[in-house]
Amino acid sequence: MKRFIGFIKKEFYHIIRDKRSLFILLGMPIVQIILFGFAITNEINNVDIAILDHSKDVTTQEIINKIASSKYFSIKEYIANETEIERSFKKGKIKAVLIFEKDFSKKLTKENNASIQIITDASDPNTANTISNYINSILRNYQQQINKNIHLAYQINPNTKMIFNPELKSVFMFVPGVMTIILMLVSAMMTSISISREKEFGTMEVLLVSPLKPFQVIIGKVVPYILLSIFNATVIVLLSILVFEMPIEGSLLFLVAENILFIITSLSLGILISTVSENQQKAMMISLVTLMLPTIILSGFIFPISSMPWILQAITNIIPAKWFVIILKGIMLKGVGISYLWKETLILIGMTLFFIMLSIKKYKIRLE
């Protein structure tokens, strides 16, 4: 036991002495969560739009006022004719143009029908889509308001309600993703690098020719990173609660337990990688290619899995991060417990056991 503690002490020296890596390890979660929270966002806020009003009557003014008073849009300019539309877009200031046809109010009352054209800048398709949806819903809203006193015979009122993330805040979607990436990075990559460093500097030779048992070496390597990962997970959760006012719907204890499970999954992957790489650089490359990229791209945290081709959808099933993202979203946003997430949890446990078995089998007590 004393040997083991001596070993862990040494590992902590390594981590603390390498100031640059330590700074990255502790600073990364904060930077990432703030980046994803503030900068990379799908929400729209104060989007500049232009108005081309051919009728300039009471109704169009009412609609314009309604749009301008929402926090989503601000009216940048009023343009006089169609030729100016393109010029206005090209200046890059506005994202959409709203065109009211001639005699809008008159047509609406006489013919019960008037048209508005929405032109959006689809060079950013996601934003364009969102803008047109928002404008549509404002118009629908106005329509209901003016029809309030008129009874129509048949009418379908779609009543959309967003649950679990009612304000559609994208940061809520990113928190589980960032958490997954950080835990994967710290646990898997750092452990694999730290074990292969012993090989690279030849210290592994002496560790092998010592009475330390292989599992003691491995556990000793892993313990400091478990603590670091738990610390990082805590920072991420605290930041999302305090800065982004994210509600954690589910049980905090369950969240911690699932986090520890995923940390162990990542660590076992890290150990597995270290058994096949003889230097730090190789360990890093393998970690980046086989862990980081699939975690970011195939875990479903940025790109929805349901819109991937079937072959990629099938591949996502073997990505541990996918299951962890589902679990995290379940706990954080939906507030569900083990009774809903037992399948995903079991899959993660199974994967972890598989990786551990494989690493034990591949770990060498000799040099070859």
Partner 1 sequence: MGIKAQNISKSFKNVTALKNISFDVKEGELFGLIGPDGAGKSTLFRILTTLLFADKGNATVAGFDVVEDYKNIRKNVGYMPGRFSLYQDLTVEENLEFYATIFGTTIEENYDLIKEIYIQIEPFKKRRAGKLSGGMKQKLALSCALIHKPKVLFLDEPTTGVDPVSRKEFWEMLKRLQQKGITILVSTPYMDEAELCDRIALIQHGKIMQIDTPQEIINHYPKNIYNISAENMHNLIECLNEYEHNYSVYPFGENVHYTDKRDLFNSQELYDFLQSKNLKDVEINNTIPTIEDVFMELTK
Helix (H) or strand (E) holding 116: strand 116-120
User: Is the separation of the CB atoms in 11 and 194 below 8 Å?
Assistant: yes
Which residues neighbour 110 within 8 Å (Cβ) at sequence distance 6 or greater? none
Binding mask 125-144 for partner 1 (x = CB under 8 A): --------------------
**Among 10, 56, 91, 343, contact with partner 1 (rule: CB under 8 A):** 10
Which residues neighbour 32 within 8 Å (Cβ) at sequence distance 6 or greater? 178, 181, 182
Query: What single-letter amino acid sits at 333?
Result: L
Helix (H) or strand (E) holding 100: strand 96-100
Q: How far is the CB of 361 from partner 1 (least distance, A)?
A: 18
**Binding window for partner 1 (CB under 8 A); candidates: 27-35, 79-87, 136-144, 206-214:** 206-214
Residue 164 binds to partner 1 (criterion: CB under 8 A):
no
**Among 35, 206, 285, 314, contact with partner 1 (rule: CB under 8 A):** 206
**What is the total count of residues that contact partner 1 (CB under 8 A)?**
25
Nearer Cβ to partner 1 (16/35): 16
**Among 45, 46, 167, 202, contact with partner 1 (rule: CB under 8 A):** 202
Residue 212 binds to partner 1 (criterion: CB under 8 A):
yes
Q: How far is the CB of 282 from partner 1 (least distance, A)?
A: 18
- CA torsion, points 40, 44, 47, 50, in degrees to nearest 10? 130
Q: How far is the CB of 225 from partner 1 (least distance, A)?
A: 17
Residue 13 binds to partner 1 (criterion: CB under 8 A):
yes
What is the rounded CA–CA span in Å between residue 136 and residue 133?
5
Q: How far is the CB of 6 from partner 1 (least distance, A)?
A: 3
**Binding window for partner 1 (CB under 8 A); candidates: 39-47, 84-92, 207-215, 297-305:** 207-215
**Binding window for partner 1 (CB under 8 A); candidates: 88-96, 196-204, 233-241, 242-250:** 196-204
Q: How far is the CB of 223 from partner 1 (least distance, A)?
A: 15
Q: How far is the CB of 199 from partner 1 (least distance, A)?
A: 11
Q: How far is the CB of 14 from partner 1 (least distance, A)?
A: 6
Residue 214 binds to partner 1 (criterion: CB under 8 A):
no
Phi, psi of 210 (to 5 degrees): -140, 160
Residue 20 binds to partner 1 (criterion: CB under 8 A):
no
Q: How far is the CB of 252 from partner 1 (least distance, A)?
A: 37
What is the rounded CA–CA span in Å between residue 301 and residue 320?
13
User: Is the separation of the CB atoms in 230 and 259 below 8 Å?
Assistant: yes
Residue 17 binds to partner 1 (criterion: CB under 8 A):
yes
Nearer Cβ to partner 1 (6/337): 6
What is the rounded CA–CA span in Å between residue 153 and residue 142?
19
Nearer Cβ to partner 1 (13/342): 13
Phi, psi of 99 (to 5 degrees): -115, 120
Query: How many Cα atoms within 13 Å fall on the side-chain side of residue 16?
Result: 7
**Among 23, 78, 201, 342, contact with partner 1 (rule: CB under 8 A):** 201
Residue 261 binds to partner 1 (criterion: CB under 8 A):
no
Residue 210 binds to partner 1 (criterion: CB under 8 A):
yes
What stretches of the chain show up as alpha helix (H) in DSSP? Answer: 2-17, 19-34, 58-69, 83-90, 104-110, 125-146, 170-184, 190-200, 203-208, 214-242, 252-276, 280-287, 293-298, 310-316, 320-329, 338-362
Binding mask 338-367 for partner 1 (x = CB under 8 A): ----------------------------xx
Closest to 230 measured CA to CA, from 189, 249, 258: 258
Which residues neighbour 262 within 8 Å (Cβ) at sequence distance 6 or greater? 180, 183, 320, 324, 327, 348
Local structure of residue 333 (DSSP, 8 states):
I
| In the block, residue with structure tokens 């969240």 | 255
Residue 211 binds to partner 1 (criterion: CB under 8 A):
yes
Residues at the site binding partner 1, with contacts judged by CB under 8 A: 2-3, 5-7, 9-10, 13-14, 17-18, 201-203, 205-212, 366-368
